[in-house]
């Protein structure tokens, strides 16, 4: 990919509201390119992103796409949410216009080795924790990517040859790396579960997209895999770099390298040499899924060579992420928990299992389907939920059909959901927002959904 874009025509397809489109547009303006931003959404919806680009020389085509912006361009940057089968991308390909995404541009320019983290669930938590551990050792560590804190191209000027770079990478971002045959030096896969079936034709396609994170590694690179997950175990068959494992149980072979739980301790094993690092009781974040995330971070940072004291001290302080089983408030002995980033059935199941057996839970869920199976979630709801409140949406219809015992209430918006839950709750009840579905039918995104939940709780 060329590194000089002065006076070249760059079309940014999809501005979005998460910051990636803004970062790309700003980057190419600074490079001296002639930038066109095009998005099917109108100006009124994109207002927050447009405000961040105010004053920059950019042509906007909003509410539509124009064929000429894909024919006459020197580069198309495809942003998240833009389907790969878009007819406008096909027009660009027919006219031999290159198509990149933010990740592929970043990888072509970054001077430092990259630590990449992906997976169906847990990748943001692991990315954040790995970043905090590394920053305690090397303060100039950069954390960016699919995580909301920083867009990749925004942090590029901060990166030197020796700067640790931690990226959360979605399957979509990884697809952009495939054509360039590049993978991170250190690659971690938290797990592979059924998700995004609205984007991928088959589960195998999703699996292959995730595998790009280690596909082009060299023998002296490292891939960190979850031994407890069948999908990531299968990845070990095609990994070229050194394999490092993490598991909630002792690893089955003494010569395996990795982090695991042995009785009440977290242990790191390196070819027959085991060392206990800390007690499980030292971990502040709830749930076995969060313990697995911590093990993943231990396995990765040990592989990089971070001193034990930095790893242990950081983990003992770690309180998890906002919007992931985030404590919001207790109102008249009723606890409110925000798990808005649970956008699949398995994520909501995991959230429900993080609570003590017998705890009274009112679940707020539902939204748009991603072509996923909700039957297992329905069984978990019947086991652990005293009342289910459902937003409108195609996923809600599936959830309703999967639940047999729990009483179900239909709600129209977040305020009515919180008010209804508060009215149903008794002292000692937990009200959990864990939607198990996408947000785009009612909210700007999952974070907007969580923010509306918090605001509604504050207004009780």
Strand 99-100's sheet: what is its strand order?
Answer: 58-62, 34-39, 9-13, 75-78, 99-100
Task: Count other C-beta atoms under 10 Å from residue 2's C-beta.
Answer: 9
pLDDT in tens, the chain (460 residues): 556 899 999 999 999 877 778 999 999 999 999 999 999 999 998 998 999 999 999 999 999 999 999 999 999 999 877 888 899 999 999 999 999 999 999 999 999 999 999 999 899 999 999 999 999 999 999 999 988 667 899 999 999 999 999 999 998 899 999 989 999 999 999 999 865 555 666 888 888 989 999 999 999 999 999 999 999 999 999 999 999 999 999 999 988 999 999 999 999 999 879 999 999 999 988 788 899 999 999 999 999 999 999 999 999 999 887 767 888 899 999 999 999 989 999 989 988 988 878 889 999 999 999 888 999 999 999 999 999 999 999 999 999 999 999 999 999 999 999 999 999 999 999 999 999 998 887 898 888 999 999 999 999 9
7 by Cβ neighbours in 10 Å (0-12 / 13-18 / 19+) ranks as exposed
Map out the domains of the chain as residue ranges: 9-100, 104-317, 326-458
Q: Among 149, 163, 212, 199, which residue's Cα sits nearest to residue 20?
A: 149
Alpha carbons 232 and 460: distance in angstroms, whole number: 44
Radius of gyration of the chain (CA): 23
Alpha carbons 184 and 239: distance in angstroms, whole number: 13
Structure tokens at 226: 């979850």
CATH number of 104-317: 3.40.1190.10
Q: Homologous superfamily of 9-100 in CATH?
A: NAD(P)-binding Rossmann-like Domain (3.40.50.720)
Task: Count other C-beta atoms under 10 Å from residue 455's C-beta.
Answer: 12
Structure tokens at 442: 């009612």
Compute φ and ψ for 142, nearest 5 degrees: -110, 135
List, in order, residues 6 or more apart from 369 with CB less than 8 Å away. 198, 393, 394, 395, 397, 398, 437, 438
Beta strands in 325-438 (DSSP E): 326-331, 334-338, 361-365, 387-390, 408-410, 430-433
Q: What does the pLDDT read at residue 20?
A: 78
Compute φ and ψ for 146, nearest 5 degrees: -65, -20
Strand 387-390's sheet: what is its strand order?
Answer: 326-331, 334-338, 430-433, 361-365, 387-390, 408-410
Compute φ and ψ for 431, nearest 5 degrees: -100, 115
Alpha carbons 197 and 450: distance in angstroms, whole number: 23
Alpha carbons 50 and 17: distance in angstroms, whole number: 9
Could you tell me which CATH class the domain 326-458 is placed in?
alpha beta
**Residue 337's beta-bridge partner residues?**
327, 432
pTM: 0.79
């Amino acid at each position: 990919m060329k590194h000089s874009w002065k006076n070249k025509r760059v079309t940014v397809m999809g501005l979005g509201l998460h910051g990636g489109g803004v970062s790309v547009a700003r980057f190419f303006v600074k490079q001296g390119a002639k930038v066109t931003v095009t998005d099917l959404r109108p100006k009124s919806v994109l207002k927050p992103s447009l405000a961040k680009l105010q004053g920059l020389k950019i042509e906007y085509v909003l509410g539509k796409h124009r064929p000429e912006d894909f024919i006459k361009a020197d580069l198309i940057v495809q942003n998240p949410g833009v389907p790969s089968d878009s007819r406008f991308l096909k027009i660009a390909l027919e006219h031999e216009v290159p198509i990149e995404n933010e990740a592929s541009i970043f990888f072509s320019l970054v001077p430092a080795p990259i630590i990449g983290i992906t997976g169906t669930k847990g990748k943001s938590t692991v990315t954040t924790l790995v970043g905090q551990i590394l920053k305690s050792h090397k303060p100039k560590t950069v954390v960016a990517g699919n995580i909301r804190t920083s867009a990749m191209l925004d942090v590029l000027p901060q990166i030197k040859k020796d700067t640790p770079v931690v990226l959360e990478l979605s399957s979509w971002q990884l697809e952009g790396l495939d054509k360039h045959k590049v993978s991170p030096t250190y690659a971690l896969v938290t797990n592979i579960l059924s998700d995004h079936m609205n984007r991928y034709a088959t589960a195998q396609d999703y699996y292959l997209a995730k595998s790009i994170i280690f596909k082009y590694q060299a023998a002296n690179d490292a891939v960190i895999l979850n031994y407890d997950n069948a999908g990531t175990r299968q990845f070990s068959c095609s990994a070229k770099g050194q394999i490092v494992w993490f598991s909630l149980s002792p690893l089955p072979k003494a010569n395996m390298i990795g982090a695991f739980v042995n009785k009440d301790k977290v242990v790191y094993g390196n070819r027959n040499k085991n060392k206990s690092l800390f007690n499980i009781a030292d971990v502040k974040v709830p749930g076995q899924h969060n313990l697995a995330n911590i093990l993943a971070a231990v396995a990765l940072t040990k592989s990089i060579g971070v001193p034990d004291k930095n790893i242990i001290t950081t983990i003992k302080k770690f309180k998890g992420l906002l919007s992931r089983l985030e404590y919001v408030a207790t109102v008249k002995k009723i606890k409110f928990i925000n798990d808005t980033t649970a956008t699949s059935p398995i994520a909501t199941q995991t959230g429900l299992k993080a609570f003590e057996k017998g705890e009274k839970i009112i679940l707020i869920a539902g939204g748009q389907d991603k072509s996923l199976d909700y039957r297992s979630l329905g069984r978990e709801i019947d086991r652990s939920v005293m009342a289910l409140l459902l937003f409108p949406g195609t996923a809600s219809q599936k959830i309703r059909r999967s639940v047999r015992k729990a009483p179900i209430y239909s709600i129209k918006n977040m305020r009515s959901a919180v008010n209804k839950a508060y009215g149903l709750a008794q002292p000692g009840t937990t009200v959990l927002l864990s939607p198990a579905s996408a947000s785009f039918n009612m909210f700007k995104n999952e974070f907007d959904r969580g923010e509306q939940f918090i605001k509604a709780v504050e207004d009780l």
